[in-house]
Amino acid sequence: MITPLIYDVTLRDGANANGHGFSSDFYASYIDKAYAAGIRRIEVGHGYGLGGSSLHLGPLQDLDIWDIVAIKAAQYPDLRIGVHVIPGLATFEDIAFCIDHGIHIFRVASHCTEADITETHIKYVIKKGYEAWGLLMMCHMAEPHKLAEEASKLASYGAQRVVFLDSAGALTPKDVQKISSQLVTSLKIPVGFHAHNNLNASVANSLSALSYGCTSIDASSSGYGPGAGNLPLESFIAILEKDGQRTDKDIRKLLELAAFLEKNFQSTMPRGDSVSTATGLYGLFSGFKPRLLEASSTYNVDIFELIEYLGMQQVIAGQEDQIIAAAQLLSAATSPGNHSKSSKTLVVDSIL
C-alpha cells in the first residue's frame, strides 16, 4: 500500500455542517495548525464550492476568509490550497478571483454521469497554468464501467487527477474496490477517493481505495462535514501509522487539530445516527439531513419513508426543493380520508 496524498477538506465540506460559518480568524488558526501537523493540501470556501454562496444554498458568512487564504498561501510556499468548482455555480471570474488569492488546485466537479459539463472549466484552469482535478460526485449512482467512461472524459479535457466521491456515504468496501480497480486500470493519471461516513464505512472504504490503486484520499479533521461527516483525518492517519506505514504527518498535532475544531464547533459535530444510516442506505446526499428532519417534522411524515422516497427518485444535491415537495406528497397520501400509499407506490404514480 502506497503512502497517500492527503487532501484536507475540513474548511470546505465542513462548512456544510455549520451554515458556511467559518470565520477568518478560525481559518488562520486552522491553516497554521494543519500545516504544522504536516498537511500540505487544504480545500477552502463555501460548502457547495465557488459560486455556492446564495440565499438558496446559504451565504458565506465571512468573506474575509479569502484575504486569509492569500496571506497563508504566501506564508507557506509549499502549501497548495484548493477549491471545489461546480460548473453552473462557478464562473471563470470566480476562478480568476481565486488565482489572485493564492489558490493552486481547482477541483472541477460534476454528477457522476455528466462529466461533459466540466470541459471548459478544466481547460480554462489548465490554460492559466494551475492544477485541475476532475471530480465525479454521487458515484454510487453509476456502474464502475460507466464511471470509467466519465473519468476518461475528465482526463481527455486535461484533468491531472480524477477523484471519485461517495457523496452519500452509500458505498461499501467491495464497491470501492470495484470502482478503484476500474478507474486505475482505465486511466493514465492518478485516482483519488472522497468518503462520507453515513454507513460508518469511511475508514474501511478509504483503506479499500488505497489497496486497489488510489493515490490520494480526502479527509476532514474529526470527520467534520455534513450529516454523519467525512473520513476522520486523524483516525485514518493513526491506522496507517499503527500498521507501520509512514505518512509524514504528526499524529499528536493532528489530534490537537481535531480537538481545536471540536472545541469551536461542539454543537455541530457530525453524528452517525439512524437518519444518517438511512441516507447512506438509500443514497441521499449527506448534507440533506437538516432539511429532512425539518420537513419530516413540519409535514408530520415518517422520516424513513421520506428518505426512501427521495432515494428512489434519485434526488441529488442542488435539488433541495424536492425534499419539501416529497414531504407534502407523502403527507397528502397519508392524510385522513386517503388510502395510505407506500413510497414505492408514490414513485410509480409519479412516473405514470
The domain ranges of the chain are 5-268, 274-351
Q: Render each residue's pLDDT in the chain as its tens digit; 352 residues.
A: 678 999 999 999 999 999 999 999 999 999 999 999 999 999 999 999 999 998 878 999 999 999 999 999 999 999 999 999 999 999 999 999 999 999 999 999 999 999 999 999 999 999 999 999 999 999 999 999 999 999 999 999 999 999 999 999 999 999 999 999 999 999 999 999 999 999 999 999 999 999 999 999 999 999 999 989 999 999 999 999 999 998 999 999 999 999 999 999 999 999 889 999 999 999 998 778 888 999 999 999 999 999 999 999 988 877 888 999 999 999 998 766 555 555 555 553 443 3
Residue with cell 458515484: 139
Beta bridge partners of 76: none
Output the pTM of the full model: 0.91
Cell readout for 215 is 493515490
Cell readout for 10 is 475540513
SS3 content of the chain, % helix, strand, coil (to 5): 50, 15, 35
Query: Which listed CATH number (3.20.20.70, 1.10.8.60, 1.20.140.10, 3.40.190.10) goes with 274-351?
Result: 1.10.8.60
Q: How many residues would you count in the chain?
A: 352
Q: Residue 275: name the closest of 308, 313, 243, 303 by CA.
A: 303
What is the C-alpha separation between 77 and 291, in angstroms, rounded?
A: 40
Query: Which listed CATH number (3.40.50.1820, 3.90.1570.10, 3.20.20.70, 3.40.920.10) goes with 5-268?
Result: 3.20.20.70
Rounded to 5°, the CA angle 117-112-116 comes to 20
